[in-house]
Each structure stands twice: as C-alpha cells, then as structure tokens.
Amino acid sequence: MPGRLIGIEPNGFPMFWWRTTAVLFGISLFALFWVPFFGLTVGLAVLSGGLFCALAFHLRNIGRLIGWLNDPKPETIPESIATWGEIYTRLYRQVKMQGKNQRLLSAALERFVAAGEAMPEGVVVLDENDRIEWCNPKSMLHLGLDRKKDIGQHIAYLVRQPSFQQYLTTQNYSQPVVLRNLRGSETTLSIQLVPFDSTRKLLLSRDITQLERVQTVHRDFVANVSHELRTPLTVVGGFIETLLDLPDLDTATRESQLRLMFDQTRRMQRLVEDLLTLSRLENGVEAREEKVNTAKLTRLLASEAEGLSQGRHRVNVTVESDSGVLGNYDELHSAFGNLVSNAVRYTPEGGEIRIKWRTDKDGGFFSVEDTGLGIEPQHIPRLTERFYRVDRGRSRATGGTGLGLAIVKHIAQRHQARLDVTSEPGHGSCFSIRFPANRMLEPAELETNGK
C-alpha cells in the first residue's frame, strides 16, 4: 500500500525519489546562481530559504493529512500539487473503493440477516460462552426468547429442560435433542447445535410436532389394522380347526359355522376394500370428473337406505334442487353412501333418517340426519381419523370398518367440499357435505352426459 501511495514505475524505481531529487537539485542550482553576484552567504541563505519552503510545504500537507484522517470522508480529502497531489488522488480512490466494498459487505450482511429472519427453522447465534448474540423470529416463537432482553444471556438460563442442559454439557452435537412440552405447550422441538467457527455455535430449532403426530398415527394405523384383521382370522381359523377335528358334525352346526366364517371373511373383504380406497384417495390418484345428477343420486341413496333398514326406520328424502355437481360419480356415491349406512347402523329401531339435497348462493348441501344416540362433543373432531370409534363394541357389532368417515373426508376434499358434523347426545346427529359454488351445475347442463 505505501508503495502505491507514492507511486512506483513499472521498473520498480520510486517516482517519489525522482521528484524529491529534482526539487533539491533545483533549489541548489537556484542558490548557486546567486553566489557569483552576492557571495556565498547570500547563496547559502537562498538555499536555506528554499529548503525551508519545501519543508513547510511538506509539514503543511502532513498536518492536513492528519486532520483528514480524524474524519476520513471522500468529499473532504485535501487537494495539493506535485507528490502530495498524487498522494491525495490515490487516497481518494482507495477511500472510494473501500466505501464501495463496505456497502457491498453491508448489503451482503443484510441479505444474510434477512435470510435468517425468513428461515422456517429457529436460528440462534451463540458466542464462545453459549451466550445469545442474535436470534430470528422463529426461534423466539419456539424457545420463548425476547430479542431485546435476552441478548447476552446464557442459553441454559432460558431453556431449562434437563435433556438440553445435558446436551449442552456433553458437547456431543452429532445428533439433535428432542424437547417436549416446552414452556407448558404441546409443541415438540428438535434442537441441534452446530459449531461454525473456533468460538461460535448455531442453535437450530425445528418444530416436529406434526411429524410426531404422523408417526403416531402410522403406528396406531398398523396396530389397528392388525387388530381388525386378527379377530376375524381367529374366528375363521377356529371354525376351520373345528371342522377338521370333527368331520362328522351335524348339518345345522356345520352350516352355522360356515355362515359365521362367511360373515367374517366378508368383514375382512370390506376392510381391505376400504383400505385400498383410502390409500388411493390419500395418494392423490386422479379420478375422472363428470356431471353428477345429485338429485337422482340422493333418491337412489334413499332407496338403498330403505333396503339396509329393512323397515326398522323411517326414511325421509328431500330434494329441493335439480342442480348437480361436477365430480366423480363413484366417489360421491361412496361418500354419500357411507353417511347413509352409518345413519342406518347407529340409529335404534323405530328412529328416523332424513336425507336431503339443497342448494343456495353458496353452493350445494347433501346432508344425512338421524335420531340416534348422538355423539359427545369431545369425539367430533376425531371422527374422521382412521379406525377412531366412539364405541368400539357397538361399531364392530354393526359391521363398520372404522374407515368410512376418513374416506368421506378425503372425497370431500378432492371435490373442494367440506364435511360438517353436528350432534347432540340423545337427540341424534347431522352429517353434511358442503360443495362450493364453482362445483355446481345447472339442471340444463345435466341433460347431456349427466349420471
């Protein structure tokens, strides 16, 4: 840098010394010029005066340079001539370049900070003593941090779970630590420390609450499927063993056992079919859309309800509109049919089942209302979970697989519709599927290719 300030020619000889030598030589020649006329004393005086002027010039510029260095701004840099002019020019260029680089670094830092602020995971920067230097909004939400108050605080004072304290002490950061019920909430966090230089660490937090719920549902699903299949297989296996051990059973007993075996195999078949249907819906397999005559389908479902009921219930059907729905006929038939069959299964003999199709400015509404036992409020949010039953014994006795409402929910979602459930214990339940207005079809549109 100093070489660049005073100037260096390509051959390496400093320009500064050329100019300095030239100035001294010029002063000396000027002083010698006066010696023949006024004597040596005058010549020395002229030489001294010239050297004094050169020194004063350099001292003045050194002073100006020191004053400028106290507040180095490009617009206030001094101006001069000769070597000092070149020095100031080069300083100006260097300061301008430094300012530009500083602005670029500041912009890069702002982008990094903005990226950290926008990250979906929590990020906390810790110093060599595990004190907080910076944290993003997501970490404040996860760990309950306050950026104004907690900067400089030790992270162990703010996250007091024993598992985290041990994780921080052992300094084995190869795997994250899982924190549950932090600050009394139901949130589950995955925390990992990542050293990123010789002294500092990043604390990364990730909300894995939904992931753990999915894993729990998966475990419950496998357990429920195993349980649902084990019972009919045990029954069938037991009867087959009896038939093998007692080949001379009387005809009535043999027919009774075969009938029970047939019922159990049908139950397993329905379960497998529902599982395949649910898998297809959850995997997003596309279904062909068509014009569905919902009024006609509603009347068909009322006939099916009467067949399932076999006179044990009063079945009323109300069709207030001839409008249809753009969707998949088989899926809608399955969803509506599940609601109807559930009403027949869970309504005591002598009860009433009301099936209705109507439309308004917001869309279409298919509903099935019964006068059954009703459902307690705490069970309603979980009704569409796979294998969730309000009363397991009663559900199995009616032949349900525990997957019907899960199938209904997925079919409704595929049609941009919503499943609503209202129920009052002792007064029955109402299940309705609400279709948006953009799915509705006018009666004239159903005259061609409408099922």
Q: Is residue 400 part of a domain?
A: yes
The full DSSP string for 3-37 is HHHH-B-TTS-BHHHHHHHHHHHHHHHHHHHHHHH
* The CA-based dihedral angle spanning residues 90, 92, 95, 98, taken in that order and rounded to the nearest 10 degrees: -70
Q: Is residue 351 part of a domain?
A: yes
Q: Structure pTM?
A: 0.52
Q: Is residue 157 part of a domain?
A: yes
Say if residues 313 and 278 touch (Cβ distance below 8 Å): no
Residues sharing a CB contact under 8 Å with residue 3, sequence separation 6 or more, in sequence order = 14
Q: Are residues 198 and 345 both part of a single domain?
A: no
In whole angstroms, give the CA distance from residue 331 to residue 305. 18
Q: Which amino acid is at 443?
A: P
In whole angstroms, give the CA distance from residue 9 to residue 16. 10
Last residue of a domain, one of 255, 282, 309: 282
32-36, 159-163, 272-276, range with the lowest pLDDT: 272-276
**CATH number of the domain where residue 152 is located:** 3.30.450.20
Q: Which amino acid is at 81?
A: I
Q: How many domains does the chain have?
A: 4
Residue range(s) defining the domain that contains residue 260? 214-282
Q: List, for residues 358-415, the tens digit of each pLDDT value.
A: 998 889 999 999 998 888 888 888 888 777 766 655 544 455 567 788 888 988 988 8
Last residue of a domain, one of 107, 130, 165: 107
Q: Are residues 57 and 184 both part of a single domain?
A: no
Report the largest interatomic distance among the alpha carbons of the chain, rounded to a whole angstrom. 159
Q: Which amino acid is at 78?
A: P
Q: Are residues 303 and 439 both part of a single domain?
A: yes
Last residue of a domain, one of 165, 182, 207: 207
| Length of the chain measured in residues | 451
Q: Is residue 113 part of a domain?
A: no
Q: Report which of 399, 411, 405 is spatially closest to residue 271, judged by C-alpha positions.
A: 399
For 446-449, which contacts have Cβ atoms below 8 Å and span 24 or more sequence positions?
A: 446/291, 446/293, 446/322, 446/324, 448/291, 449/290, 449/291
Top mean-pLDDT range of 18-32, 126-140, 374-388: 126-140
94-108, 210-224, 422-436, range with the lowest pLDDT: 210-224
